[in-house]
Amino acid sequence: MARPNFAKDQLKSIVDRVERLEEEKAALSGDIKEVYAEAKGHGFDTKIVRQVVRLRKMDTTEREERDALLDLYMSALGMAS
């Protein structure tokens, strides 16, 4: 009979951990919003800052492939400069 209690305890532990992580995630999300608000207050375009953050997460090859496809699509649409 120790087995059902173990499963119950294990499930409770998992749920507790997820709830705690969700709280931490919400707090971090609020912190990130504050940083973007600060950037906006300093005159930075937050859409561009978000894009730069996204691009910095990519490795060089992935970013180069993305840029090449973007250039190709823009040329196909007559948008190339």
Cα 32 to Cα 2, 41, 71: the distances in Å are 45, 14, 31
pTM over the 0.85 mark = no
pLDDT higher than 70, residue 15: yes
- Mean pLDDT for 33-54 is 98
pLDDT band at 66 (very low <50, low <70, confident <90, very high): very high
Per-residue pLDDT band at 3 (split at 50, 70, 90): confident
Task: State the pLDDT at residue 81.
Answer: 67
- Angle, CA of 10, 15 and 20, to the nearest 5°: 125
Q: How confident is the model at residue 2 (pLDDT cuts 50, 70, 90)?
A: low
